[in-house]
Structure 1
Amino acid sequence: MAGPEQNAHAKNSRRLFLVSIPRTASNLLVRVLDIKHQPNLFANDKSGYFFLEAFTTATYKGYYAKSIVEWTDDEKSEIRSLFQDCLDQMEECSAEARSKGKIMFTKEHAFWFVNPATMLDADGDHESRVQQDDFRLNFPDYGPTQTFSPNNKTVFPDEYLRTWQFAFLIRHPALAWPSMYRAMRKMAKDGFIDDRAATATLLTNMTWRWTRYLYDWCSAEHAKGCPAPLLLDARDVVHDRDVVMRFCDEAGLDRNALRFEWDDAEPGYPGAFSGREKAVADIMMSSLQSSRGVIKDKTPGRVDIDAEVETWKAEFGDEAAALLEKTVRAAMPDYEYLRERCVKA
């Protein structure tokens, strides 16, 4: 249970951590919330993405394409060091937010801060469990103990996670997964990622497992006095403004700052990226960057998986369609579980 000192730190810091995965309209949500102009909020110029470097480095070097027991000590040390660097940058930003009396905001994808030894341990291998300690980060400033409860699959101990309020964004997997597959194919074609790394990225991305673990952890901690987790579905971001307003109220944001239309000349935050990351950001945010507002037909109110499979066969071929169908159906129980717990108007 969180001690009074840890709960006080969390309350005084007011930190909001939005957890998403690619192709869930998370960049759209950031623009609708108008994070940069929320009067009580403070974020970096990317509205988060502190842990992007750790994940992309492991991906581009092919680490996530092999078992954790195949990682060398140098590879594990490299990624752990990157996790620490990413954390240090996030904590510096948080300190600046605190000095300004504002809520710290960040948006990160769920698997970016999952312990690699857990992510690559699909069969519950004992050796992989032992290697989880190689990536876990220590936080002496957040209490004398460093614990990792069963639903905490991240590199952060429970004591640190308790200092944040978490919000989660989900989307129907039959909409998110093919969009992700399409983006990965584009990146591979343009030479930003090889086929092996693209496949590994897809397999680590196309699941709601890590989101559900962390949501369940937050729910259990809420019963002990920690902030309640918030859940939002991309469908509601697109189709139900009342839900987005309710989300703002519960997250401590200003609903008057919401924007559902914008000037198409606005650059958004891809301009905050450079080099390889900018090229990837341009691919991932192309639809948003060319839009002037929320595009409703990209997120239909009802999804027919059987009908979608036929469109995937026509676009991607039978083999890819079979992979997408398998991962979509496997993800549906977690999606439906989370969907039931979303913010309501």
Structure 2
Amino acid sequence: MSITNEQPHRVLLVSVPRTASNLLLKILNVPNQPGVLTSPKGGYFFYDAFTTASRGGRLDRPLEEWTTEAKNETKVVIQQCFDELEAYSARARAENKIMFAKEHAFWFLNPGNFTSAECPEQLKEFNVSTPERYGPSQTFSANNKTVMSDEYLRTWQIVFIIRHPALAWASMYRAMIKLSKVGFIDDDGIRGTTVTNMTMQWTRKLFDWCLEQPDKPVTPLVIDANDIIHNPRAVVNFCEKAGLDTASMQFEWNGNEKKSENWAPESANMGNPEEVEIHKVAASIMLSTLEESTGVVKGKAPVSVDIDAEVTKWRIEFGDEVAEMLEKATRDSMPDYEYLKANRVTV
């Protein structure tokens, strides 16, 4: 996207779970880049927005079945998340730094798009109110399924991270099982999570949205998790093209940092000690491989993936029903993955 004197350089990394996005941030060393500002989580400003929107199985129901209270609660938290993002952006401007944020594609998706996309009028109430500095108009083109207007999104350099669905979705399901054991999620939550999370359609739509913008028709940056692990020069290339400092990059570390300590609800349920602690436990599960490592773990990313062979393994590990669900999610995601992969950064 275009960067003007009025709009500072801002990088938005769009991910989905289990794509090695936290590993990428670790290698880029984003928190310690001298000219970069990010949150303690490295982004995830819309974490509370998604957890609120998905509470009580809401995302399984069309908007007309939501209560007024559920709609209002979700709208308020979405706006709070956006306002916090803008507060960080204002700080970055004041400090003359690049603003960096990482977000899962469906976390800042308009929640109505999960079930009510055919009713655009119903979606409007979740769209955020943006400051006057972004102009008087707020438009939402066909591929913009987010809560933020075209005008606002154009002020960011949007970049993407992807991973082969067979690896990402199985890893996600394993993580969900672990989360259920600590009480973070129940069986209904696992089913809902698999439906909302195991897709790259929202990533692809936002990628296509980037291609459609009139100001600077440049293909946005995409990096594949396989390249992050096996092709470090591609990561350096990605870092340069994103305008970050390659001198700050690292491929080894001491393994003492516990990023999961930074994970706690910021907006919803604020002040609830039990809620804070369970989010930290959940984060430690999701970040366990990274936090226990001292460098890139190559065994987590096979060079090639045979879906049929993976399905055979899943049947042994999870049983037939889950294996069939993972296979369907994987095969349904492959066209989007291959499309995005064809545009990835290489050496």
TM-score band, normalised by the shorter chain? over 0.9
Residues 1-345 of structure 1 aligned to structure 2 (within 5 Å):
8=4, 12-121=7-116, 125=118, 128-139=119-130, 140-221=132-213, 223-225=214-216, 229-267=220-258, 269-274=259-264, 275=276, 276-345=278-347
Name the residue aligned to 2:270.
Answer: none
| Alpha-carbon offset, residue 7 of structure 1 | 5.4
| Alpha-carbon offset, residue 20 of structure 1 | 0.4
Following the alignment from structure 1 to structure 2, what is the Cα–Cα distance between the partners of residues 235 and 196?
A: 32
Amino acid at match of 2:68: D
Q: TM-score normalised to the size of structure 1?
A: 0.93
Amino acid at match of 1:266: E
| Alpha-carbon offset, residue 176 of structure 1 | 0.1
SS for the counterpart of 2:296 is coil
Q: 1:172 touches 1:335 (CA, 8 Å); kept in 2?
A: yes
Amino acid at match of 1:41: V
Amino acid at match of 1:218: C
| Alpha-carbon offset, residue 247 of structure 1 | 0.5
Q: 2:254 touches 2:294 (CA, 8 Å); kept in 1?
A: yes
| Alpha-carbon offset, residue 283 of structure 1 | 1.0
| Alpha-carbon offset, residue 270 of structure 1 | 1.3
Following the alignment from structure 1 to structure 2, what is the Cα–Cα distance between the partners of residues 198 and 61?
A: 12
Following the alignment from structure 1 to structure 2, what is the Cα–Cα distance between the partners of residues 262 and 218?
A: 34
Following the alignment from structure 2 to structure 1, what is the Cα–Cα distance between the partners of residues 255 and 242?
A: 28
Amino acid at match of 1:296: K
Following the alignment from structure 1 to structure 2, what is the Cα–Cα distance between the partners of residues 69 and 227?
A: 39
Following the alignment from structure 1 to structure 2, what is the Cα–Cα distance between the partners of residues 170 and 69?
A: 33
SS for the counterpart of 1:8 is coil
Name the residue aligned to 2:273.
Answer: none
Q: 1:64 touches 1:197 (CA, 8 Å); kept in 2?
A: no
Following the alignment from structure 1 to structure 2, what is the Cα–Cα distance between the partners of residues 205 and 150?
A: 21
| Alpha-carbon offset, residue 77 of structure 1 | 1.2
Following the alignment from structure 1 to structure 2, what is the Cα–Cα distance between the partners of residues 120 and 160?
A: 25
Following the alignment from structure 2 to structure 1, what is the Cα–Cα distance between the partners of residues 85 and 67?
A: 27
SS for the counterpart of 2:159 is strand
Q: 1:7 touches 1:226 (CA, 8 Å); kept in 2?
A: no
Amino acid at match of 1:135: F
Q: 2:138 touches 2:151 (CA, 8 Å); kept in 1?
A: yes
SS for the counterpart of 2:310 is helix
Identity %: 49
Following the alignment from structure 2 to structure 1, what is the Cα–Cα distance between the partners of residues 96 and 230?
A: 33
Q: 1:232 touches 1:247 (CA, 8 Å); kept in 2?
A: yes
| Alpha-carbon offset, residue 66 of structure 1 | 2.5
Structure 1, gaps ≥5 residues long: none
| Alpha-carbon offset, residue 138 of structure 1 | 2.7
Following the alignment from structure 2 to structure 1, what is the Cα–Cα distance between the partners of residues 237 and 4?
A: 26
SS for the counterpart of 1:62 is helix
